[in-house]
Structure 1
Amino acid sequence: MTKKNIIKFKRGKKMKTFLIGIAGGTASGKTTLARILKDSFQEDAIILKHDYYYYDRSHFKVEDEKINFDHPDSFETELLVKQLKKLKKGEAVQRPVYSYKTNERLAEKKRVNPAAIIIVEGILIFHYEILRKLFDLKIYVDTDADIRLLRRISRDIKERDRSFESVKRQYLSTVKPMHEKYVEPSKYYSDIIIPHGGLNEIANDLIIKKIKDHLRN
């Protein structure tokens, strides 16, 4: 255990940070699983979403309808890596705040404090080797494509003010092909593949036990 990965927490204990990556297709259940883990460990865990690190719409130099939000180049992954390394050293960071409705990074930033467990979730986080190497545990949430599509339609219409036609057009033009090209192949880098996302209680319990074992040690 190296000195730089040891953090002193409120309870006065020192421990090595445990960095968990949760990947999977759009609307596969990544967020559900991340919340289950967060709820299990409370203040000992934090969640960072790769989506927070989307580039601002101005970065793309094209109309919003033509932006491929599911391509690896749409994220400022270098910034995420830099901030994860700081968190592992025990340093707080100021993460970006992104608006899904306007496709813009807001002027405000959100402070994130270090914790014993850092959970990172996103569709493409296992695509980048530089990011993969940071994870102590890599989990891929594997959910049927039809279920993911229905969830995506419901979420984008209710939460992001999208029309059915725009969701359908984006899914067929970028989401589905990018999933097949980048997301699906990345699951073979994972340590654990979980069917049915956060609804798989047996898998959830096994993961929670592994993390508890790490904290005890």
Structure 2
Amino acid sequence: MPQPLLVGISGPSSSGKTTLSRLLRDIFPPSKLSILHLDDFYLTDAEIPVKNSVQDWDCIESLNLPALKQALQHIKQHGNSPEWLVSQEDQNSVGDHGVPETEIKRLKDEVAGWLRSSKPEWEERRICIVDGFLLFSQDMKDIREIFDVRLFLRTSYETAKRRREARSGYVTLEGFWQDPPGYVDDIVWPNYVKDHKFLFRNGDVDGELDKKVCESVGIYGMPREAEGDMTRCLHWAAGLLEDVIKKT
């Protein structure tokens, strides 16, 4: 089986990573695209680091990086996820994506069309999307370099805070986690800024992405006009995948 195309989708919490991943899965043939979630590689609940008397689920130390790397290498070699990996993240819900069903069907037909006209190797080649909040940080450079395509989503602090605080909580390896009051301000957003400011001009995550830096690490940054508009975001991501597939 040909080596799969490994696609990383990253960005701040509540930027739409999982929503976009699932929508891409909807518009591709079921046998062609699968999803892996970074959230499936958290350490056990008891191993999550505690900072200022609160567990920090949004830092690199909360992740089982050896297992993640092992899973990605297995996918690269075999084209599917290892048998030992059972997703907990698929039990977590996402909000309404707002993309009309008619648009999803139209995109599904478009994807089927350009897949048929792609190179013969794409008859068997698969796509694996990995979504996660820390895939492109400098501290995860060795993980970042495994991906063939890297898509970076963005959202404002206000939107991230509103969306995250609207969630009921998260299924974990051993139970259920609900953010305590102030968690976005104290943990989530500061961690995001620390790990991703290198991608932005002057380190300002509310400003513009630094095109030279993004190009140097092979990251495609979501256009500003797609922020908060999942239909535009889906068109952007599908278009990028179409370009990559037609070129390979």
Report TM bin, short chain.
Answer: 0.7 to 0.9
What is the distance in 1 between the residues matched to 2:63 and 2:149?
22
Any conservation in 2 of the 1:24–1:184 contact (CA below 8 Å)?
A: no
Give 2:238's match in structure 1, choosing from 201, 204, 208.
208
Match in the other structure for 2:68: 80
Q: Which amino acid in the other structure matches residue 85 of structure 1?
A: Q
Shift of 1:209: 3.4
Structure 1 residues 162, 68: closer, same or farther in 2, change over 3 A? closer
Q: Please, which moves more after superposition, 131-140 or 65-74?
A: 65-74
Shift of 1:162: 3.6
Give 1:122's match in structure 2, choosing from 132, 135, 140.
132
Q: Which amino acid in the other structure matches residue 28 of structure 1?
A: S
Match in the other structure for 1:10: none
Identical aligned pairs, as a percentage?
Answer: 22
Match in the other structure for 2:101: none
Match in the other structure for 2:85: 95
CA deviation digits over 1:23-64, x for unaligned, max 9?
Answer: 111101111111121112132111111111000022247599
What's the TM-score once normalised by structure 2's chain length? 0.65
Q: Which amino acid in the other structure matches residue 34 of structure 1?
A: S
Match in the other structure for 1:134: 146
Structure 1 residues 171, 88: closer, same or farther in 2, change over 3 A? same
Structure 1 residues 31, 155: closer, same or farther in 2, change over 3 A? same
Shift of 1:129: 0.8
Structure 2, unmatched stretches of 5+, are: 92-123, 201-213
Shift of 1:204: 2.8
Aligned-residue RMSD, C-alpha: 3.1
Any conservation in 1 of the 2:5–2:148 contact (CA below 8 Å)?
A: yes
What is the distance in 2 between the residues matched to 1:214 and 1:202?
19
What is the distance in 2 between the residues matched to 1:84 and 1:18?
11
Match in the other structure for 1:36: 23
What is the distance in 2 between the residues matched to 1:121 and 1:72?
15
Give 1:50's match in structure 2, choosing from 30, 34, 38.
38
Structure 1 residues 58, 186: closer, same or farther in 2, change over 3 A? farther
Number of aligned positions between the proteins: 188
